A and B are shown apart, each in its own frame.
Chain A
Amino acid sequence: DTEVTQTPKHLVMGMTNKKSLKCEQHMGHRAMYWYKQKAKKPPELMFVYSYEKLSINESVPSRFSPECPNSSLLNLHLHALQPEDSALYLCASSPSQVNTEAFFGQGTRLTVV
């Protein structure tokens, strides 16, 4: 199994809603990442978890709240988002914190209305 599975694939939410994005991998990887990708732009790193501990928060607003319940799961909790937060959210994992073999999921296309 070399997959990173993200759910849902598409999400439309209002600015007052609370929703969560989910990411799952069963490759035994110990580092997991959230990226944000706007249309026609490269991905931008948001968070890094290494051994289930938050290692990097790239100055992401608090309306995005990551959570790593166990080594296979990574969540991104969303609350009070703005329309400019609409983007593709990509999850990735790698065997260790030096992510020379990063595997990406197919992303969640988020639209904030």
Chain B
Amino acid sequence: SQQGEEDPQALSIQEGENATMNCSYKTSINNLQWYRQNSGRGLVHLILIRSNEREKHSGRLRVTLDTSKKSSSLLITASRAADTASYFCATSSGGYQKVTFGTGTKLQVIP
């Protein structure tokens, strides 16, 4: 079953704007990861944030995690047309490597 739900389901912005995607999950986690998927392609791992971390940065990406609200957000700053893709959050819990994916947000960045 799906662990995470993301919103919005779809997001369309102009190049240069920031894009924010949110992910909510249901059970306790060890970590939360964000992935990108271009249409019909495999997954690209973007960033991992552990349950004891609140914020993490990687280039133009900023991820926050609020374990009390069981939610995370992914912010892409100064978006580019190449950022157009689907973005998924994925949670991992227990000592097991198994991850469970959210429903995804489809981002379109208009040049």
Are A and B co-members of a single complex? Answer: no
* Chain A residues at the B interface, C-beta cutoff of 8 Å: none
Chain B residues proximal to chain A, CB less than 8 Å: none
